[in-house]
Structure 1
């Protein structure tokens, strides 16, 4: 198996990925199961002939997680499904309409770092991806960028952050550090999408402190 779009985005790989995701456990902390729910889109896309994941850098003006890397997403509105919330938030944050997203399925829930919210990742492929179609919402998003799947598999870019005796994966990509819940979701997805020979991770390569991961305040 290779990293080409023809291989990674084939029906066979998609079905195997979704089957594996269903077997993964949900990640809950020690706190009681929270009542707030959110959804994020884990956006696959093809950029420069490479299969990538798309990330956003949150605006430094936001009250929570400002200046950190995340997937597009947010809290569910009344009577909204996780799929509806994920695509709505994606359109609001980066300008991609729901008609341009091929939804694969959902991943197990992950409890937010503060323990107050449950996050459901939704996997989707942005069809006919074109960076010119992206329209960043400046109130929420500082930057939109893509990372090739092959780069995320580079063992030299891997590290870890210890939180409550739990080791969270860290990925380096150029100036960005992908960590926290976003790093965990990335790891869960890559484990389900790729065979071990392609995704041979090495998170003990480097240990990061919170000061090294948190964005600098200007």
Structure 2
């Protein structure tokens, strides 16, 4: 990320960031990539076409300040309706298996019992920050991250670009465990198995 001072006509002035002056900052912190937040509620899905129509693009973020503005304005993850999802994906990648950036990839998924309550919001936030901060060693292979609210659990999944790239996938999986602060194993499933009713575990870390 880089600091970018807002342009104005008043000449040189002291740089004020959102950390030092949340109301009147004149510099922003540019993200290395642009990220788009999406929302959908598959519980309303009856077909592929209606699901696609229900997938809503909310906003694209270019700076740290924009990210925090959006994060603090939308519903917290644990309050999403049952069956719904948040998706944060690199700009230009739709959160769908069929998107060309996702078609040959897969995902690391972590389930949380609903008894965890609002604690799951911390896990979601840490995962979001790892994505926009590009802290994964194989960050270019990270397409996006999904939060799912289900009747029996919460789920956080990180989608990667290439399921055949074992080194990158396992590197991402190991870092995700650190981000989430968990010790149990995580499993990686290829998108090619999605929707088949069963999936082959490709990697485990």
The alignment's TM-score, normalised by the length of structure 1, stands at 0.28
The alignment's TM-score, normalised by the length of structure 2, stands at 0.30
Question: Which of 1 and 2 has greater Rg?
Answer: 2
Of structures 1 and 2, the one scoring higher in RCO (CA 8 A, sep 6+) is 1
